[in-house]
Amino acid sequence: MSLPFAFAVFGTFFISVIFYIKSLFKQTSAIPQLHFKESALASHLLKRCRLMTRKFDPPWCVRNAHIQTIMPFLIPSANIEFDREYLQMKDRGVVALDWVTHVSIHKRKRCTVLLVLPGLTADAVSVSHLCSMAADKGYRPIVFNQRGFGNTVLTTSKLLRNGDPTDLRDVVKFIHGRYPKALVTIVGFGTGCELLLSYLGEFGSSANVCAGVCISACFERSKRFTKMTQGLYDVLFLSKLKLILYTHSISLSKYIDFTELLKCWTFKEFDHHVFHKFYNFTNIEEFWDIFHPLRDVDEIAVPLLFVNSLDDPFYSKCKIPYELCKYYPQFLMVVTNNGGHCGFRDALTDESWADRLALDYIDSVLEFTNQGHTIKYGKCAKRSTI
């Protein structure tokens, strides 16, 4: 066991025990913070999603941030089946779509596709409970796996940065080609939110998406990852990323020095070793700015829900940009005191409070538009400073 890893394990465990004991005696509000701009859409969402009274109040035994974060990995996956389909991109790269089988589409008059973007190191199994709930409600759930990730094959010696929406654009077009009358909605988890925000910003009103949800998004990647490795979570995340890339070492050895890659223990070093030759950037800060998830936030033209927790152990020191909701009426932000990273378990069950909220939100947005309402965004008088 390397010294950095040993320190990370011991330090995280020791601090987690202290904070867990402290959290047992700490009373927090069960009603999440709501941030939004007054509009007809916001009023409709507050009423239909019961957001003014919708509590997130997990029992004391699972209130700790680390328990919330770990619980999804301990709960068995949902009893559903996926059918994988590979799509070849224009440069002959391949992505994978995992379609949920046996969907009760008869419940809806119009096909509604739920495209799920899991975290970079996750796969369809990790979001199976959301897919199961969506399928029961009549959605057609699909899990998008980026090239080289989610147990996909890597047919070319090229990786796309997580904020590069090129492949996602082709996937959305493919879905509309197969289901021309379908309504496409997207839910992103963790690092999957970066891809969702980049896509919606870059393609604006032509994104061909009706609604989006970001669960546990990171808004300040450059500030978060410029720092040294912080605790066990960073070590585990970097280790998983290295393991995934190492499985494609034959294809990527021309562009990545795996000897140096395995030695790095910061995200700054990791991104430099992996993406420098793919994108030919001058420095890592320039690279992060180019793919900042909010770089084109002014162009996002669909209703978007953010669900974040103040105790997220991945991004606890990152600022949540509440001011976004002052400028953009299509944004709604729900911030809980507890929930960890992509946890949000309010009981010892397999269902996530955030997953239920995400589906209720999408249902409400589609209901709003089906009633004949139009969502007018226009240009903000004051632009965001993000």
Instruction: List 112's β-bridge partners, or say none.
Output: 183
pTM for this predicted structure: 0.88
With respect to residue 378, please indicate whether it lies within any of the assigned structural domains: no
Distance CA 278, CA 282 (A): 12
pLDDT average, residue stretch 141-157: 93
What pLDDT does residue 386 have? Answer: 39
How far apart CA 197 and CA 214 sit, in angstroms, is: 8
Residue-range definition of the domain harbouring residue 151: 3-369
Residue 376 lies in a domain: no
* Residue 77 included in any domain: yes
- Stretch 356-383: mean pLDDT: 75
Q: What CA–CA distance (Å, rounded) separates 102 from 110?
A: 17
User: pLDDT digits over 162-172, tens only?
Assistant: 889 999 999 99
Does 231 map to a domain? Answer: yes
pLDDT tens per residue, range 75-122:
889 999 999 999 999 999 999 999 999 776 555 557 899 999 999 999
Q: Is 159 helix (H, G, I), strand (E, B) or coil?
A: coil
Q: What is the CATH number of the domain that holds 327?
A: 3.40.50.1820
| Domain contains 202 | yes
Domain count of the fold of the chain: 1
pLDDT digits (tens, 9 = 90+) for 269-325: 898 889 888 888 888 888 888 889 999 999 999 999 999 999 998 886 678 999 999
Instruction: Indicate whether 377 belongs to any domain.
Output: no
pLDDT band at 378 (very low <50, low <70, confident <90, very high): very low
**382 domain-assigned:** no
26 is a domain residue: yes
Closest to 12 (Cα-Cα) out of 344, 314, 341, 345: 314
For residues 283 and 264, give the distance between their C-alpha atoms in angstroms, rounded to a whole number. Answer: 17
Mean residue pLDDT across the chain: 87
Instruction: Look up residue 23 and give its two tokens.
Output: 């959290």
In the chain, the amino acid numbered 201 is G
Question: What are the residues whose beta carbons fall under 8 Å from the beta carbon of 53, sequence distance 6 or more?
Answer: 31
